[in-house]
């Protein structure tokens, strides 16, 4: 199909059934929703070398995004820190939201971290790897906001230090001195 064709025309010619989300440009491209199907496939709008993937309304957008992030984590060569570490952190924040534990500040975190990875990575993989999360945050904001936790009094827990310490103790096979002082040691 020629450049300049609309996404709606592509979907029509392909016989797409119930298209609800379209990924233009492969994993590193942009995911758009129904309200953007009149946008055009071209360098000035939605650029792609040919990869267009369509998803029906039965698919979970965040599961698709998590799958793409796993791909980038696997494909990162590890040379530079923003890509090697940043993509893992983005995936962890995404999983936190998917488990229903996300907070509004997690969206700001994902946005800032994604921009940092794009700006500071060495090659094209890092320059585009945050796109699945950033583009779905832009085009499917309700998918994210519907999963965020409501907090009373406007307070948000920034970091679960007790949970992190428990995990570290388990890995190091160490006991908590505070726990022992409070509840007694069984050793």
Contacting residues toward ligand SF4, per CB under 6 A: 76-80, 83-84, 121-123, 125-126
Looking at beta carbons only, is 75 or 156 nearer to ligand SF4? Answer: 75
The two three-digit tokens of residue 133, written as one number: 């999360």
Minimum CB separation of residue 72 from ligand SF4 in Å reads 8
Distance CA 181, CA 41 (A): 65
Query: What's the distance, CA 39 to chain centroid?
Result: 23
Give min distance, CB of 91 to ligand SF4, in A: 14
| Residues recorded for the chain | 187
Classify 103 as helix, strand or coil. Answer: coil
Q: What are phi and psi of 83, to 5 degrees?
A: -80, -45
DSSP-assigned letters across all residues of 113-178: HHHHHHHH-SSHHHHHTTHHHHHHHHH-HHHHHTTSPP-GGG------HHHHHHHHHHHHT---HH
Distance in Å, CB of 79 to ligand SF4, minimum: 4
CB 71, min distance to ligand SF4, A: 12
Question: CB 65 → ligand SF4: shortest distance, Å?
Answer: 18
Query: Running DSSP on this structure, what letter comes out for residue 35?
Result: G
Give me 50's structure tokens.
């040919």
């Amino acid at each position: 199909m020629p450049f300049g064709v609309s996404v709606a025309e592509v979907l029509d010619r392909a016989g797409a059934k119930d298209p609800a989300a379209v990924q233009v440009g492969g994993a590193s491209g942009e995911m758009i929703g129904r309200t953007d199907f009149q946008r055009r496939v071209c360098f000035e709008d939605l650029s792609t070398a040919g990869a267009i993937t369509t998803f029906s309304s039965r698919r979970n957008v965040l599961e698709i995004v998590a799958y793409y992030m796993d791909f980038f984590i696997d494909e990162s060569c590890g040379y530079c820190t923003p890509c090697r570490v940043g993509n893992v952190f983005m995936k962890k924040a995404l999983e936190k939201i998917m488990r229903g534990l996300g907070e509004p500040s997690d969206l700001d975190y994902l946005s800032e971290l994604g921009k940092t990875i794009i700006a500071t990575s060495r090659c094209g993989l890092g320059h585009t790897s945050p796109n699945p999360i950033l583009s779905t945050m832009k085009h499917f904001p309700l998918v994210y906001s519907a999963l965020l936790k409501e907090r009373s009094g406007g307070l948000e827990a920034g970091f679960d230090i007790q949970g992190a310490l428990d995990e570290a103790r388990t890995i190091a096979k160490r006991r908590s001195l505070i726990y022992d002082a409070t509840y007694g040691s069984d050793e």
